[in-house]
Amino acid sequence: MLQVANIIAEKDRFVKGLQKRHINNAEELLNEVIALDEERKKTQHQLDSNLAEANGLSKQIGGLMKAGKREEAEEVKAKSAELKTISKDLGDHLNGIQEKLKQALYNIPNIPHDSVPVGKSDEDNEEVSRSGDIPELHDKAKPHWDLIKDYDIIDFDLGIKITGAGFPVYKDKGARLQRALINFFLDEASSVGYSEVQPPIVVNEASGYGTGQLPDKEGQMYHIASENMYLIPTAEVPITNLYRNVILDEKDLPVKHVGFTPCFRREAGSWGAHVRGLNRLHQFDKVEIVQVRKPEESYDALKEMCDHVEGILKKLELPYRILRLCSGDLGFTSVLTFDFEVYSAAQEKWLEVSSVSNFETFQANRLKLRYKDENKKSTLLHTLNGSALALPRIMAAILENNQTAEGINIPKALVPYTGFDLID
């Protein structure tokens, strides 16, 4: 959530930032926020003045009664009661204004970093780098949705029977490879200082608002109406919300967490080759890294997180590229995002496997997440997160890129975790 004081102080910059996201009514949105904030301040001033006057009158009543000035005391008492009634109305009005202001801010996205390229869709994303050789497959190579049937390692039909489309069942070496990837990703993160947490996979409404999934992505989340709870779309939500309404000491920073969770999204969308098999699911596993940093450190942390993801992909021997997301493809809460894509040789296409983002103070302002420095000054922190990694498309690329006539080779880095080096 943007900070009102910053909007007022740098309105032109904020208008340009929102226009970069192709929000045509940017100035109107910000003017509404400024007007509501002015009304909030005015109402708060009136309320404070009324309460102060009412309190002053209340203190006079006892003295007047003692002095035998009952009639005058009753007049003061009546005036005090009238002021308190007006104050209650002002308080109700203030609460209404504050709610309108909060909702207005909830619907305004973050301001893109200066380095974010202008664009309208993923076609306008900027390729930063690429690495690794695209494998040459044998003549009878297949896409992963055929391979999983040949080797009986993932069953979509059983998932449909149990739940519905987009909920696969992993079997035998498929399940072991899935577990190996999870453990490998967790160990990689732990080795560079991330503290592992295992959070709930169901969150309350406040958590959804805290990290910006609500109200922006409400339609994409599975909602448990009877409890007003949500299945998480990513571990970012519960892990970052560990620090909702928290003031950290400077000595507690930086915060670095890693967590594995299943993730749930309703966005599987249209059918076709681009969403076949593991390419897009309603339920999938993901290892997430989250950092909370002082503002002056957050962009170094972003690079650190990108380097971490890149290192994992190199160890998995997968060809990959890094993209800087354009303004039209940038997430609602993000200032700057880098996507990592691996090349799927059998599908002859790039598959997104990670997004690493800096949100600066956007989430922290919603969360009321601050730290106190050595002078006891309270400052909003910056939050960052990244997939390290999402499993389905990594699994798809491993199966497709490593297939041979004899079977599917397992990357050397995973063999200690799988206990086998070939799916045959």
State the burial class of residue 423 (Cβ atoms within 10 Å of its Cβ: 0-12, 13-18, 19+): buried
Confirm if 238 and 203 have CB atoms less than 8 A apart.
yes
Report whether pLDDT(273) > 90.
Answer: no
Q: What span, in angstroms and rounded, lies between the C-alpha atoms of 333 and 359?
A: 6
Residue 149: count other Cβ atoms within 10 Å of its Cβ: 15
The per-residue pLDDT for 269 is 52
Give the pLDDT band of residue 374 (cuts 50, 70, 90): confident
Give the per-residue pLDDT at 218.
87
Q: Distances from the Cα of 35 to the Cαs of 28, 97, 98, 101, 302, in angstroms?
A: 10, 10, 12, 9, 35
Is the pLDDT score of 256 beyond 80? yes
Structure confidence at residue 296 as a pLDDT band (50, 70, 90): very high
Residues 7-31: tens digit of each pLDDT: 999 999 999 999 999 999 999 999 9
Q: How far is CA 82 from CA 19, 157, 270, 288, in A?
A: 48, 71, 62, 56
What distances in angstroms separate CA 26 from CA 33, 59, 269, one per listed residue?
11, 50, 30
Residues forming the annotated binding site for L-serine?
234, 265, 288, 385
pLDDT of residue 376 exceeding 90: no
- Look over the chain and give the mean of its residue pLDDT values, rounded to a whole number: 95
Structure tokens at 382: 């910056």
The answer to which of 19-23, 143-147, 217-221, 229-233 has the lowest mean pLDDT is 217-221
At residue 274, the pLDDT reads 61
Query: Each residue of 65-84: pLDDT tens digit?
Result: 788 888 888 888 888 889 98
Q: What is the rounded average pLDDT of the residues 220-238? A: 97
Is the peptide bond prior to 389 cis by the omega test (within 30 degrees of 0)?
yes
Residue numbers in the known binding site are: 234, 265-267, 288, 352-355, 385
CA 272, CA 269: separation in Å to the nearest integer?
10
All structural domains of the chain: 4-106 (1.10.287.40), 122-423 (3.30.930.10)
Per the annotation, where are the binding residues for ATP? 265-267, 352-355
Residue 405 has pLDDT above 60, yes or no: yes
